[in-house]
Structure formats: C-alpha cells, structure tokens
Amino acid sequence: MSLVRAKKHLGQHFLTDKNIAAKIVDALHPEKGYKQVLEVGPGMGILSDFLLQKTDYETFLIDIDTESYEFLQKKYPQLGSRLINADFLELDFAATFAGPIAVIGNFPYNISSQILFKILDNRQQVSEVVGMFQKEVAERCTAKAGSKEYGILSVFLQSYYKVEYLFTVKAGVFNPPPKVLSAVIRLTRNEVTELGCDEKLFWQVVKAGFNQRRKTLRNALSSLINKEKLTDEPMLELRAERLTVNDFVQLTNNISASR
C-alpha cells in the first residue's frame, strides 16, 4: 500500500513510534461506561491499529483527507460506515452515536481550539478525551488559576472536565517532524450538568475578562456590569487570571443579581 503524502494544510504529521501510540490508547478508561470511541484524524492508522484490537468498545474513524480515507478503507475493510470521510468540526454527534463516547486523536494542530470547542458543544455525549496537542495548547488546557497560561480555554474546559497533562512528546517521533513539542492530555467529564449561573453571561464574563487580561475585571467587564451597584465586589479588583471556575460562577451570579 503506498503511503499517504503529508499535507501541511491538514496538519498532517504522522506518528512513527508505536510505543507512544499504545500509551495514548491505553490512557482511555472504557470502564467509565462508554461503548463507542471516535478517533479524529487517523491518518495512516497508527492509533487505530491499537484501538481496533480492543473489544471494550466500537471504534469510529473520521478523517477529512480523502487520501487517508482511501488508504484506511483498504487497510480496514471491516469498518464499513464506521470509517467516515468528513470534517470533524461538522460532525452531527447525536445522529452518529447512540450514547456516551470517548474522543481520541493526534489532533491537527491548526484547528486545536475549534476541536476543543466542538467537544465542549457536545459535552453531554463526550465522557472522555485523550488527545495530542501542541505542548503550549496542552499547557493552556491544564493551567491553574494564577498561572500565565491560564485563560479562556482553561476555564471553559475545566468547567466541565477534569483536565490532566499526561506526557510530553518530542518532535522527532513524527514524520515530518513539527516545529514544536507535543503533549498528550486527558479530559474526564465531571458531574456538572449546569454551572449554576446564567451560562451565556458566564461565557461573556470569561471572554471579556481574558480579552483584556492586564486590566482589573472592573475595567475589563465595564460593558457588562452595573457600576453603581457592584461597588464592593472584591473580585472586580482582580485580574481574570486570579479567578477559579467557581469564582467566575459566583461573579456571574453577583453580576446577574445587580442588574
């Protein structure tokens, strides 16, 4: 079988180290109750080889690249409609999967944030995610309040998932090697179904706070708050990076109550 040509615009860097591939697949916890796993961007199938050996779950593969799709069709004829040639960002989860699922992948780095927001949009179905990202993105996902990496992505993900940094991966194990280091993280869905505040306002507060992260929240959120009524709100004297997810929930409730 001829190999798939790496296409830069699709973020194609193929992992060549099978031990790392096995370690990524082993980081899934199917005992948590999902029966289906979706791999995003299987490429030539280095992760899929390990996923398809497992009997605890049914594996689905989605790749936007037709050349990868045709390669994988020949490699795994048994997959049938579980091999999908489409854009993950356009996938209709409810129509494709029967219940809770896990998402796994060595993700294309050019669309990392969109992939994470797509997962967040489908958080009712996505119980677990194990994925490789550019190291800086992995650090932003796992960052804690008070650190310089802590930002919008950290707060949004940590609202609904426990986020763990698993391990760092060197560029030399990919072909072609990316210019950056990579890292594997795991997201495990928490118990939260509702944040306990006006969620639309919560997203606005988080975004506005971090969009002007060097300002105090009183200044960064000036268009969202009623200044006369929130004169003694201590969180407004801080910068966004100091607030935990729970602080943001509480601040959102205080802003709602003052309107």
Ligand X SMILES: C[S@@+](CC[C@H](N)C(=O)[O-])C[C@H]1O[C@@H](n2cnc3c(N)ncnc32)[C@H](O)[C@@H]1O
Positions at the binding site for S-adenosyl-L-methionine: 13, 15, 41, 63, 87, 106
Residue with smaller CB distance to ligand X, 46 or 240? 46
**84: contact with ligand X by CB under 6 A:** no
**What pairing do the DSSP bridges indicate for beta strands 58-62 and 174-175?**
unpaired
Is 59 within 8 Å of 104 (Cβ atoms)? Answer: no
How crowded is the C-beta side of 173, counted as CA atoms within 13 Å? 15
Q: Which of positions 90-119 make contact with ligand X (CB under 6 A)?
A: 106, 108, 111
201-209 long-range Cβ contacts below 8 angstroms, 24+ apart: 201/252, 201/255, 201/256, 202/248, 202/249, 202/252, 203/156, 205/248, 205/251, 205/252, 205/255, 206/152, 206/155, 206/156, 206/240, 206/248, 207/152, 209/239, 209/240, 209/243, 209/248
Q: Which of positions 145-174 make contact with ligand X (CB under 6 A)?
A: none
How crowded is the C-beta side of 259, counted as CA atoms within 13 Å? 11
Residue with smaller CB distance to ligand X, 41 or 209? 41
Helix axes 245-257 and 152-160, enclosed angle (nearest 10): 90
**12: contact with ligand X by CB under 6 A:** yes
- The type of residue at 109 is Y
CB of 15 to ligand X, least distance (A): 4
CB of 178 to ligand X, least distance (A): 8
CB of 35 to ligand X, least distance (A): 22
CB of 176 to ligand X, least distance (A): 10
- Of the ranges 12-20, 51-59, 148-156, 225-233, which one interacts with ligand X (CB under 6 A)? 12-20
Q: Which of positions 16-45 make contact with ligand X (CB under 6 A)?
A: 40-43
Size of interface with ligand X, in residues (CB under 6 A): 23
Nearest residue to ligand X on Cβ basis: 41
CB of 45 to ligand X, least distance (A): 7
**134: contact with ligand X by CB under 6 A:** no
Among 10, 27, 145, 201, binds ligand X (CB under 6 A): 10
- Of the ranges 86-94, 122-130, 148-156, 250-258, which one interacts with ligand X (CB under 6 A)? 86-94
Q: Which residues contact 231 (CB under 8 A, 6 or more apart)?
A: none
Cα separation, 24 vs 216, in Å, equals: 40
Would you tell me which residues interact with ligand X (CB under 6 A)?
Answer: 10-15, 40-43, 46-47, 62-65, 68, 87-89, 106, 108, 111
